[in-house]
C-alpha cells in the first residue's frame, strides 16, 4: 500500500509521529495506527534497531532498482 510505504519511510527517518502527521496532513494517532499495521503486515517491531536498519537498507535498494 503506497500510503503505508510512505509512512514507513517517514518513521524510519526518525521523525516524531506529530512531525510525520504534519508532513502527511494526518493526525499523529493515524500515524501510530499505520505503524501498527506495518508491524502487523511485516510481523516485526519497528522499535528494534536492527530491524529498522535492515528496512532502511531494503528501501534504499528498492529505490536503486527502480532507477535502473
CA dihedral angle for residue 52, residue 45, residue 47, residue 57, rounded to 10 degrees:
0
Residue 58 has pLDDT above 90, yes or no: yes
pLDDT at position 67 is: 86
Q: Is 56 exposed, middle or buried (0-12, 13-18, 19+ CB in 10 A)?
A: middle
Per-residue confidence at 40, pLDDT binned at 50, 70, 90?
very high
* Mean pLDDT rounded to a whole number for the chain: 94
The percent of residues above 70 in pLDDT, for the chain, comes to: 99
pLDDT at residue 68, as a whole number? 75
pLDDT computed for residue 66 by the predictor: 87
**Whole-number pLDDT of residue 15:** 95
Amino acid at each position: 500500500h503506497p500510503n503505508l510505504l510512505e509512512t514507513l519511510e517517514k518513521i524510519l527517518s526518525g521523525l516524531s509521529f506529530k512531525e510525520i502527521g504534519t508532513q502527511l496532513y494526518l493526525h499523529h494517532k493515524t500515524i501510530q495506527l499505520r505503524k501498527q499495521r506495518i508491524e502487523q503486515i511485516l510481523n516485526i517491531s519497528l522499535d528494534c534497531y536492527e530491524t529498522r536498519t535492515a528496512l532502511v537498507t531494503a528501501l534504499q535498494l528498492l529505490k536503486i532498482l527502480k532507477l535502473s
